[in-house]
Amino acid sequence: MAGELGTFRDAPARRGGIPWYAAFLLVIGLGLAASIVDWAIGEGFGVTTGAAFLIGCLVLGGRVRAEQLSAGLVGAPICYVLIIAISGGVQLLGSPAYGTAFRIFWTFALVSGLPWLLGGTALSAGIAGLRMWRRRR
C-alpha cells in the first residue's frame, strides 16, 4: 500500500502563469469592456480603452507561461486589431452605410490609438523579452 502512494517528485511539474490564449482573451475582454464604457460616454475609442489595453498588455507580458513567452512579443498588436474590429463592428451595426462608416472608424481608431498600440506592444514585448533573458541566464 505504501508503495502505491506517490511522492512530490512523482507529481508533474507545476507550470506557473496562464496560457497564451487566456492572456489574449483577457486583453480582448478588457479592451471590449472598456470600449463599451468609452462608447457610453461618447468618447469613441478613447482613454478608457487604451488604459485597459495597457493593463492587459502588462498581464500578457508578465503572466503568460514561460514556455509561451513569444505570445507576449506578438500578442499585443493582434489583440488591439481584434478589439478595434469587434468594437467597431458592433457599434456601427445599425449604420445605413456600414462599410464606409466601418472603414472610417477603423482608420480613426488606428491613427488616434497609435500611441496606445505602440505603448502596449513595447510594454508587453519588453516584459516578455526581460523574462526570456532572465530565464536563459
For 98-136, the pLDDT digits (tens) are 888 888 888 888 888 899 999 999 999 999 989 988 888
> pTM for this one?
0.80
For residues 105 and 100, give the distance between their C-alpha atoms in angstroms, rounded to a whole number.
9
User: Any idea how long the chain is?
Assistant: 137
pLDDT of residue 14: 53
Q: Which three cell numbers stand for residue 21?
A: 490564449
**What angle, 0 to 180 degrees and rounded to 10, lies between the N-to-C axes of helices 47-63 and 114-136?**
10
Residue 4 has pLDDT above 70, yes or no: no
Residue 10 has pLDDT above 50, yes or no: no
Residue 11 has pLDDT above 60, yes or no: no
Amino acid at 121: T
pLDDT of residue 93: 83
Phi, psi of 18, rounded to the nearest 5 degrees: -115, 155
